[in-house]
Structure 1
């Protein structure tokens, strides 16, 4: 009986399976057979015909409507340079070095611009300036100068938009006074670099041109303004009344007051964007701008000097050194400038453009003050006039001008543009006197060309400089300096 039941169940299961298979393999008795399933192959994305226009870095929207965002940018400037050095220059191994070819990072930056809402703005910038193999490194590193540069804060500010005419903020900021170029955008310059005259107190009482304090800025019609009050950084000059040269001013290490700054300009043509503090160097024909500006800086008792000879022997204690009589001097700087940038031939395919920036400065920094400096200085040692150093600022006056012309697009095709430029710096500082008593004036001339591969975002700059060697103020010789810069911004 059980055996018969098993046989019956097995037969039923086989019939069910056979029926199921019959439903699949038997073709339909009516209608048309179904079409075969389409074959889906992965589709290749066509390569873009040209690169997309640059839109100011990568933007990450934090809110769906884009009102909350973080914008990220990174940029680098690499220098390859030949320099004929100033008289007496030595290398890091104390060998006489009349000239050399060297490499350096002029700037390397990361910029973050963040908006919490249309009223709150946060700007953070980190990076390094001026690293070569003998300079620009972290101080005190046992591995030697030039290595492990301090990747430090350049900007760290928060801002609140009070109304359409006024924004207020604070932190480590770049809302400087004096001139347009004192708050320059380093990656959009006309020439290879800024002249140096625009930042008379850089890294003496500020940090890489930034102040620590509060500011107010805004625009009323065509009038743009910025004002700031900052604490002076403790200056990096080690001196006392005993170590000063007679009747030569220096930054006062005992002054800890406020630094007052302001800059005002009138925009006659297009209004510039002013979300960030960095002033554009030139627009390559994208805007038509004509601005006239004026600015100031004031730091009470920021300088000091000693009129009489130092006592002999020199004091051995700090208290005795500061007991020597000395005079305090207010530091003040006034400036006026002009910026003109315009497209030309807009109706044709040439799309040329012309740019010019000119500025005049008056410095009051105490008797006979002169500051020397050389960008990415290739000379070793402590001599103020080693390597490529020149007089940058001093009590007296200075004038600068930079001008560039964007050549026609058809010259090298649509992708590569050429922008030749010239630059001239003139200084007249009372501390540079010849034996006969007259002032030896400063003349620095630059000429070059920007090879624009993708606007300012990717460009190569070739620059020639005729640099005065002031080791003998009575007999100034000019040294050649040739620099090639590669700049990339993402």
Structure 2
């Protein structure tokens, strides 16, 4: 116990006073393309040898949300009909431990909670275990990794032109797109759109699956591929109904993503790819990826006749950051665009609402939304989605603060619906000390579909104020 206390004491002193721990190495869950901002707070790292090739690093991040939600028609909150709901909650809170025990071998662990507000994310009872209380703390990532061809030669320390790593465990080295591998600490907008994770909380655990993976670089091509065992699903389809998640035959899933880097190259020592580096360096990456799982869903065209369907997802994207104007003004443009083609089987459709406070009001007699109650929206399904976002860093006016307006647009064309839907987010980031602290103000607009006609009959909005800290 004394040794443990001494270790944490030395860690605190080293973090507070040693300049050796505030170097330009990568933070947890970020993939920098730029030199370290001198205003960045730094990271918590313990070198285990004098050479510095054995180390232990810690990362902490939190995202606190305050919201005003326009509820879908027929919503009850805590059993009371409600058109608008105000709430506060924890969208994400994470602790990361990363260790390189030898130059050949490393371990990555990420733990935390997600989506806790006054009524969701925790218990379902009352009193001490009431709705929203005691949100579960669980492992997001837990994997080991071996360096087959390291980024830097172990003897000379010089960079290798190509590198290759092999790993296994519960991981997020995903396929499909850059955003399917998104860093949640370096997002452009207030949140990622969630449909970027094609099996989120169905055949995966918060976008992770158990399996083996390889990743690395071949000259300017950055790649990742994995073979995984999806989490089990066993929903029963209705007669004549749509395909539902049922992978009882237990087939493996296969995923991959690669992108070509035209200008500055990124360092990918963790799986997470940044969506925003404040356009400090010129970046242009074009990528494509896939996810496939045989017999992942099931339908029942006629009574007691069941058909299995493969899940096949394809994505293609482009990511760019462009510094603009006088370098001293630190202006820049960030652009991202991705096209997804989803095939889960006939008329598969999924709806979801982040930290949804609402349930169905049984007494409601008006026009109901296909999406259901609260802030539910059509998330994804068999069909296509095109998503784009843009952000612009305003000219420098402070040594500490940066402002970055942004805009998101998603066009969803689902086979189960009779009309395409447009989804918008508009807002601004206020950054403090690089990207260690961020305040986000964002307004989102979503369409609502009529249950019978499956066409848009209304729109609802949601205002978000988010506070984010990353160490």
Q: Which category describes the TM-score, using the shorter chain as reference length? A: 0.7 to 0.9
Residues 408 and 342 of structure 1, relative CA distance in 2, 3 Å threshold: same
Q: How far apart, CA to CA, are the structure 1 residues paired with 2:299 and 2:275?
A: 37
Q: 1:178 aligns with which of 176, 179, 191?
A: 176
Q: 2:110 aligns with which of 122, 125, 138?
A: 125
Q: 1:260 aligns with which of 239, 251, 254?
A: 254
SS in 2 for 1:182: helix
1:376 Cα deviation after fit: 1.4
Q: TM-score, normalised by structure 1?
A: 0.81
1:352 paired with 2:331, answer yes
Q: 1:302 aligns with which of 284, 296, 300?
A: 296
Could you say which residue in structure 1 is the equivalent of 2:308?
A: 328
1:291 Cα deviation after fit: 0.4
Structure 2: stretches of 5+ with no match in the other structure: 1-16, 20-36, 151-162, 362-369
Work out which structure has the larger RCO, using CA pairs closer than 8 Å and 6 or more positions apart in sequence.
2
Could you say which residue in structure 2 is the equivalent of 1:107?
A: 92
Q: How far apart, CA to CA, are the structure 2 residues paired with 1:398 and 1:162?
A: 37
Matches within 5 A, 1:102-251: 102-138=87-123, 143-164=129-150, 165-235=163-233, 239-241=235-237, 244=238, 246-251=240-245
Residues 222 and 195 of structure 1, relative CA distance in 2, 3 Å threshold: same
Q: 1:417 aligns with which of 381, 402, 406?
A: 402
Q: Which has the larger radius of gyration?
A: 1
1:140 Cα deviation after fit: 7.5
Q: How far apart, CA to CA, are the structure 2 residues paired with 1:255 and 1:353?
A: 50
Q: How far apart, CA to CA, are the structure 2 residues paired with 1:143 and 1:55?
A: 38
After superposition, give the CA deviation of every residue in 1:272-311 in whole Å (9 maximum; x if it has no partner): 0111110011111332210000000000000110112x5x
SS in 2 for 1:203: coil
Q: TM-score, normalised by structure 2?
A: 0.84
Q: How far apart, CA to CA, are the structure 1 residues paired with 2:129 and 2:174?
A: 36
CA contact 1:390–1:470 (8 Å) conserved in 2: no
1:466 paired with 2:445, answer yes
Q: 1:429 aligns with which of 414, 419, 424?
A: 414
1:54 Cα deviation after fit: 2.5
Q: How far apart, CA to CA, are the structure 1 residues paired with 2:139 and 2:125?
A: 19
How many pairs were matched up? 415
Could you say which residue in structure 1 is the equivalent of 2:391?
A: 404
Matches within 5 A, 1:14-29: none
Could you say which residue in structure 2 is the equivalent of 1:485?
A: 466
Q: How far apart, CA to CA, are the structure 2 residues paired with 1:52 and 1:59?
A: 17
1:384 Cα deviation after fit: 5.2
1:147 Cα deviation after fit: 1.3
SS in 2 for 1:240: coil
After superposition, give the CA deviation of every residue in 1:407-447 in whole Å (9 maximum; x if it has no partner): 0002xx22211100000011101111xxxxxx211210110
Could you say which residue in structure 2 is the equivalent of 1:37?
A: none
1:204 Cα deviation after fit: 0.5
CA contact 2:421–2:456 (8 Å) conserved in 1: no
1:286 paired with 2:280, answer yes
1:218 Cα deviation after fit: 0.8
Could you say which residue in structure 2 is the equivalent of 1:338?
A: 318
Q: Which moved further from structure 2: 479-488 or 250-259?
A: 250-259
Could you say which residue in structure 1 is the equivalent of 2:23?
A: none
Task: Give the structure with the larger strand fraction.
Answer: 2
Could you say which residue in structure 2 is the equivalent of 1:273?
A: 267
CA contact 1:87–1:471 (8 Å) conserved in 2: no
Residues 53 and 113 of structure 1, relative CA distance in 2, 3 Å threshold: farther
CA contact 2:257–2:289 (8 Å) conserved in 1: yes
After superposition, give the CA deviation of every residue in 1:234-258 in whole Å (9 maximum; x if it has no partner): 13xx6324xx252300011513111
1:82 Cα deviation after fit: 0.5
CA contact 1:56–1:73 (8 Å) conserved in 2: no
Q: How far apart, CA to CA, are the structure 1 residues paired with 2:124 and 2:43?
A: 32
Residues 425 and 462 of structure 1, relative CA distance in 2, 3 Å threshold: same
Q: How far apart, CA to CA, are the structure 2 residues paired with 1:122 and 1:430?
A: 42
After superposition, give the CA deviation of every residue in 1:320-353 in whole Å (9 maximum; x if it has no partner): xxxx111110110001000001222353x21101
Residues 352 and 359 of structure 1, relative CA distance in 2, 3 Å threshold: same
1:386 paired with 2:386, answer no
